[in-house]
Amino acid sequence: MSPSALVVLLGAIALGRTVFGVLLVLAYGLGMAGVLTALGLLLVHGRARLERLAPAAGRAPRSAPSVACSRRSLPFSWSSSAAA
């Protein structure tokens, strides 16, 4: 449970409207689940559409995510080892 959900529930209990607080938290959770599901489906279908439109020669190599991640994290590991 998130801290904001706990605040909503405690506030609803303090006001004597516990059922309303539970309904608010449930509605928020269902809305978040719906949005994340819709975004995931959009990304899956969008990727398929982009792959049909984009030429195969313009694709990034499979190592691109690893290179991008290490490029971002290496400076942090270097600075922490230099401080020790």
- Look at residue 17 and tell me whether its pLDDT is greater than 90: yes
SS3 annotation, the chain: CCHHHHHHHHHHHHCCCHHHHHHHHHHHHHHHHHHHHHHHHHHHHHHHHHHHHCCHHHCCCCCHHHHHHHHHHHHHHHHHHHHC
Q: In this predicted model, what pLDDT tens digit does every residue of 26-60 receive, in sequence order?
A: 999 999 999 999 999 998 888 777 777 666 555 55
